[in-house]
Amino acid sequence: MNSPKKPTISIRKFLNGQKSLLKNYILIVLGSAILAFGIYNVHSYVDITEGGILGLSLLLEHLLYISPAVSGFVISLACYLIGFAAVGKQFVAYSVVASFSYSLFYGILEFFPRIWPELYKYPILSAILGAIFVGVGVGICMRMGGAPSGDDAIALTMKHVFKTPVAVTYFVMDAVILIASLCYIPLDQIIFSLVSVILSGQIVGLLQIRKK
């Protein structure tokens, strides 16, 4: 009597699923590393900010001297806990890994000097370069189903609880952070920051379209 083949098929599916899961986590860590590299070497150095939690962590760095490696992870973790019901267990799992990886890489980079010490002389180049790092880094993480900051959890929670459109929540969060950042960033730099925010958002969106 031949032995049943179903267990073999199930094991194969399980192993394939584990390989896919491992691949997703590896890419999320890679995306977080790219993001940390850009935020540390561009945004934090030349006073070009981002919206949302990333921008808030840079604001806290300048006002309270708290490293984004610490504030970013703590704030994002709080957002994931608040929005757990809205975003789901898998998203939270991926996002916690992304946020922790970002904080870890940023903390490591703080032991090294910036690699482009003259970059502050070229604000438009800084805005474009920073947007590329943020867009690609965040885009990779979101493509895999997670996010390195808690913006998405807040946006989805607002939609779930108050029926607020996600785009409106993103806009309000970005606008509040950009306006608050005027306390340490000159107005002309805020304009470059706005360019960076818009461009990075387009890159993130492009990566999601390519996934489909």
CA distances from 57 to 4, 24, 211 (A): 56, 26, 29
- Sketch the domain layout of the chain as residue ranges: 20-211
**pLDDT values of the chain reduced to their tens digit, one per residue, 212 residues:** 455 555 556 776 666 667 788 999 999 999 999 999 999 999 998 988 888 899 999 999 999 999 999 999 999 999 998 888 778 888 899 999 999 999 999 999 999 999 998 888 899 999 999 999 999 999 999 889 888 888 878 888 888 888 888 778 888 998 899 999 999 998 888 999 999 988 988 898 888 765 55
- Please report how the helices 166-180 and 52-64 are oriented relative to each other, as an axis angle in degrees rounded to 10: 20
Closest-CA residue to 98 (of 199, 24, 19, 18): 24
Judging by beta carbons within 10 Å of its beta carbon (0-12, 13-18, 19+), is residue 100 exposed, middle or buried? middle
Distance CA 211, CA 84 (A): 24
Q: What is the pLDDT of residue 13?
A: 66
DSSP state at residue 120: G
State residue 16's pLDDT score: 65
Check residue 75 and give its pLDDT. Answer: 94
Q: What are the helix (H) ranges across the chain? A: 6-38, 44-46, 52-64, 68-82, 84-87, 89-109, 123-143, 151-162, 166-180, 187-211
pLDDT at residue 51, as a whole number: 86
- Choose among 117, 126, 110, 115: nearest CA to 66: 110
pLDDT at residue 55, rounded to an integer: 92
pLDDT value at position 132?
96
pLDDT at 152: 79
pLDDT at 59: 94
